[in-house]
Structure 1
């Protein structure tokens, strides 16, 4: 697991070969704008990809096998899209290109549907990628100040024991880093099935001077809300178990003027 020493060291062209193109001076045409922290099996990325086909999105996951799974799935879906677009090969013949995921019984069915429909997906999944990294330690190494417009925290580890609360993905220290990489008016999306964790995240985000909670009515037209709620494997597990989901979104406020801190 390697991390760049600074954002300019990242070669995004390898992750988004059709969208992040470097010119003669090495300046890349597009930068990542959405970050899914702890992306799991990539459900959110897959759902958002056709909704924002020109926006680069990155999943960050610490587990090696899970990261590899998402990486292989993205490549397979890109291939399925290309073959469906360029030839008469039925997409059902490409099912073997998608890796299996033993964690979820319906994942194979989801994969089959995605492959069948890949040829009709706007952007052909060229705008999503995944990296194995510990985002709690290295996020500013990947992204410049104000680079991101959306950050997602979906069903993070609740770390139930009080002595482990400092390891939660939302904390005063980490919120300073999230505020650094998120541009003003950018949005942080959170969801969990653990009420205590939800209250913890809401409390700390509310207490931070650079974030304010977004009212539900303001989010009624935001397609990301539906994706956050229903697209992930963890979210589907909660539904099967008739559990509750607790959602909250926060807007990044402008930096205060000098003397107003």
Structure 2
């Protein structure tokens, strides 16, 4: 006689039934729980494009595919490169998007901009994908949330595989893992090397948004961006006038947790500078 289903079995049974029913109800977060941190240096058996040009975004943003399904133009494109093109590029990346709070809050505020959540944890990525699918179904008459998507990725290793030079206008780094121990600092999402990758994918004038409840990590991020020649800190008055900052403070799951615990939130924005002339 089989014993009671364990947590993994219950999780899989729920997700299978949820997707089969094609419901418009939001998914239940408890069935997508996963440990808070993942080792970015491990082999996570990820699938990623060899270059930004080979990335097929059509399944993530079907409403923004530039050629309609079944058209002669689409068939011609598929015959040449197998990639269906979008009418516009992804412009905003939420790195380590967690359960997608920022992503779904920003999507209606930036309806003409393609936003991408990037998350390394499998279960969490699946939750955000199911959440966006449900929100699209709930708002089918308005077309909201068609501009938001999420994929599983390790941005510390593969960010330039997804985005070409100067493609992004915004990157969000919200409540990243602080990696308190000194020997773990190399795993922080902000570093001299990674900042150069951010400088590569963010266009001049674009903004990197950072927020954390750990003052040491905040100082670390400020120090590393301040010392990088491609970035300059955004003045506080301009920072507070940015509507994305208010959303970042209040809509992420970690931000809500900090709010409940009456903890501090440290915010810093950094503008991508123009490249100097050669």
Q: TM-score, normalised by structure 2?
A: 0.77
Deviation of 1:223 after TM superposition, in Å, equals 1.0
Answer yes or no: is the 8 Å Cα contact 1:152–1:189 preserved in 2. yes
1:236 matched to 2:256? The reply is: yes
Structure 1 ranges of 4+ moved more than 4 A = none
Superposed CA deviations along residues 31-78 of structure 1, whole A, max 9, x for unmatched, are 100000000000001110010001000000000000000000000010
- Go from structure 1 to structure 2 and tell me whether the alpha carbon gap of 1:12 and 1:22 turns closer, same or farther (over 3 Å shift): farther
Among 200, 222, 228, which residue is 1:202 paired with? 222
Answer yes or no: is the 8 Å Cα contact 1:13–1:21 preserved in 2. no
- Map 1:149-228 to 2 at 5 A: 149-228=169-248
Among 39, 43, 47, which residue is 2:97 paired with? 39
- Once residues 126 and 228 of structure 2 are traced to their aligned partners in structure 1, the CA distance between those partners, rounded to angstroms, is 35
User: Where does residue 19 of structure 1 map in the other structure?
Assistant: 64
Deviation of 1:22 after TM superposition, in Å, equals 4.1
User: Where does residue 9 of structure 1 map in the other structure?
Assistant: 54
Superposed CA deviations along residues 67-106 of structure 1, whole A, max 9, x for unmatched, are 0000000000101111xx3xxxxxxxxxxxxxxxxxxxxx
Answer yes or no: is the 8 Å Cα contact 2:206–2:271 preserved in 1. yes
Q: TM-score, normalised by structure 1?
A: 0.82
* Superposition CA RMSD, Å: 1.2
Answer yes or no: is the 8 Å Cα contact 2:94–2:116 preserved in 1. yes
Answer yes or no: is the 8 Å Cα contact 2:234–2:269 preserved in 1. yes
Deviation of 1:220 after TM superposition, in Å, equals 3.4
Among 251, 262, 265, which residue is 1:245 paired with? 265
Unaligned runs of 5+ in 2: 1-45, 78-83
Aligned length: 220
Answer yes or no: is the 8 Å Cα contact 2:95–2:171 preserved in 1. yes
Greater Rg over alpha carbons, structure: 2
Deviation of 1:13 after TM superposition, in Å, equals 1.2
User: Where does residue 125 of structure 1 map in the other structure?
Assistant: 145
Unaligned runs of 5+ in 1: 86-118
- Once residues 214 and 67 of structure 2 are traced to their aligned partners in structure 1, the CA distance between those partners, rounded to angstroms, is 43
Deviation of 1:150 after TM superposition, in Å, equals 0.1
- Once residues 235 and 52 of structure 1 are traced to their aligned partners in structure 2, the CA distance between those partners, rounded to angstroms, is 21
- Once residues 133 and 255 of structure 2 are traced to their aligned partners in structure 1, the CA distance between those partners, rounded to angstroms, is 24
RCO higher in structure (CA 8 A, sep ≥6)? 1
